[in-house]
């Protein structure tokens, strides 16, 4: 009696090309290669060790935030207060140490607690009220903007906090957040290593843990996820708090490196974080994206911002390039999402 083999579509093999096209970060990786090749052809400095160090520098702190924002966006939410929270963290640490004499490490823990509380409130209000995270965090953004300016002026009579390098323990802080590593005669910021670590951690969290599955479930369809036991509220609040932690880390890096902080620090950066995540493959509707893609989006930002300068162009063109890349990324992501849906049928 001959055996009859019946093909099952559930175990059908997917070609290598299709698997690559289903990767959220594919478009960003191709874009990064093109951007690098373009500016490297225009400027020798751009592709030199010092040039690479210069464009990796802004990409690093942006990349740390972009990874956290990407996780939040995959979970279906936005945080428009993410940028200003970096300023809030730095201002809190700066005021407590330089004006009130609080122990450096205690001040850092207090500033961390403050921004984590902000993240918790953002997530809690989104979960409890059902309002769009865009509206909730827009309100938080405006309140923090006013607080950062008002409190800084009230305490310092200026809009800037100085002399952070004179606090006790600054040398240790500098080694952790703002030291440099010499490679091929160029000075690379340690923030680049923290950026790589954040990308690895974010990718592992997203792809190798139960929490990562919850993130995709919440962003894809929160109601369906809730019906199969996904803790939607806990996951949402945790994502907002992760974003706040990243803001604390970046804010601490900024005030340690610059030894001062402006009250307006972080204003407007939240849109750059979202742009980096979208360029990296995150959908505005949630449920799709990657931490690696967000990091590559930040890399494209760094290369473009410095590449325009090295090419001798007017820096005003940077925003044009950023907008064009965002538009192309959204169109590419939409196409890839449709391709992914068709491939699964």
pLDDT tens digits for 152-206?
999 999 999 999 999 999 999 999 999 999 998 899 999 999 999 999 999 999 9
pLDDT tens digits for 225-253?
899 999 999 999 999 999 999 999 999 99
pLDDT in the model for residue 212: 94
Contacts of 1 (CB under 8 A, 6+ apart): none
pLDDT in the model for residue 21: 59
Assess whether pLDDT exceeds 70 at residue 133.
yes
**C-alpha pair distances (Å), 186 with each of 45, 56, 242:** 12, 12, 32
| Cα 55 to Cα 304: distance, rounded to the nearest angstrom | 8
Strand bridging mode 160-161 / 261-262: antiparallel
**C-alpha pair distances (Å), 335 with each of 27, 289, 332:** 11, 14, 5
Which DSSP letter does residue 259 get? S
Assess whether pLDDT exceeds 50 at residue 254.
yes
Whole-model pTM: value is 0.90
| Cα 200 to Cα 195: distance, rounded to the nearest angstrom | 9
Nearest CA-CA partner of 113 in 127, 126, 128, 96? 96
| Cα 288 to Cα 304: distance, rounded to the nearest angstrom | 25
Give the bridge partners for 133, in sequence order.
none
pLDDT in the model for residue 342: 62
- pLDDT (average), residues 261-284: 90
Assess whether pLDDT exceeds 70 at residue 209.
yes
Strand bridging mode 186-189 / 261-262: unpaired
Assess whether pLDDT exceeds 50 at residue 10.
no
Residue 83 near residue 270, CB atoms below 8 Å: yes
Residue 28 near residue 293, CB atoms below 8 Å: yes
Assess whether pLDDT exceeds 90 at residue 5.
no
| Cα 136 to Cα 112: distance, rounded to the nearest angstrom | 21
249 Rama class: left (phi>0) / alpha (psi -120 to 50) / beta: alpha
Residue ranges of domains in the chain, CATH in brackets: 28-339 (1.10.3470)
pLDDT in the model for residue 1: 43
**Of the ranges 4-18, 28-42, 93-107, 270-284, the best mean pLDDT one:** 93-107
| Cα 190 to Cα 197: distance, rounded to the nearest angstrom | 11
| Cα 240 to Cα 87: distance, rounded to the nearest angstrom | 17
| Cα 276 to Cα 296: distance, rounded to the nearest angstrom | 8
Nearest CA-CA partner of 320 in 304, 334, 331, 299? 304
Assess whether pLDDT exceeds 80 at residue 19.
no
Radius of gyration of the chain (CA): 22
pLDDT tens digits for 288-337?
889 999 999 999 999 998 988 888 888 777 878 878 877 877 777 677 66
Assess whether pLDDT exceeds 60 at residue 345.
no
Nearest CA-CA partner of 306 in 48, 31, 84? 48
Backbone angles phi, psi at 332, to 5 degrees: -65, -40
Lookup result for tokens 């096209």: 21
> In whole numbers, what is the pLDDT of the chain averaged over residues?
89
pLDDT tens digits for 49-78?
999 999 999 999 999 999 999 999 999 999
């Amino acid at each position: 009696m001959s055996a009859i083999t019946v093909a099952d579509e559930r175990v059908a093999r997917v070609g290598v090309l299709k698997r690559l096209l289903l990767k959220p970060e594919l478009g960003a990786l191709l874009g990064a290669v093109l951007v690098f090749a373009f500016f490297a052809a225009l400027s020798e400095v751009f592709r030199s060790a010092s040039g690479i160090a210069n464009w990796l520098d802004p990409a690093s702190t942006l990349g740390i935030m972009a990874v956290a924002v990407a996780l939040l966006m995959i979970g279906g939410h936005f945080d428009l207060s993410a940028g200003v929270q970096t300023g809030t963290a730095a201002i809190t640490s700066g005021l407590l140490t330089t004006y009130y004499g609080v122990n450096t490490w205690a001040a850092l823990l207090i500033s961390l607690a403050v921004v984590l509380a902000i993240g918790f409130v953002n997530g809690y209000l989104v979960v409890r009220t059902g309002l769009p995270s865009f509206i909730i965090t827009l309100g938080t953004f405006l309140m923090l903007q006013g607080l950062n300016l008002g409190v800084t002026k009230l305490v310092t009579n200026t809009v800037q906090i100085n002399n952070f390098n004179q606090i006790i323990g600054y040398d240790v802080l500098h080694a952790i957040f703002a030291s440099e590593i010499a490679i091929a005669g160029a000075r690379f910021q340690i923030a680049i290593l923290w950026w790589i670590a954040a990308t690895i951690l974010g990718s592992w969290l997203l792809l190798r843990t139960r929490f990562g599955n919850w993130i995709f479930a919440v962003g894809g369809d929160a109601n369906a996820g809730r019906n199969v036991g996904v803790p939607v509220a806990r996951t949402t609040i945790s994502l907002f708090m992760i974003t706040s932690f990243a803001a604390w880390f970046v804010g601490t890096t900024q005030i340690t490196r610059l030894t001062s902080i402006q009250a307006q620090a972080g204003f407007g950066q939240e849109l750059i974080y979202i742009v980096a995540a979208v360029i990296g493959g995150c959908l505005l509707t949630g449920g799709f994206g990657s931490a690696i893609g967000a990091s590559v989006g930040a890399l494209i930002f760094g290369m473009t911002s410095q590449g325009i300068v090295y090419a001798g162009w007017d820096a005003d063109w940077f925003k044009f390039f950023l907008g064009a890349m965002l538009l192309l990324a959204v169109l590419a992501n939409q196409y890839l999402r449709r391709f992914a849906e068709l491939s699964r049928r």
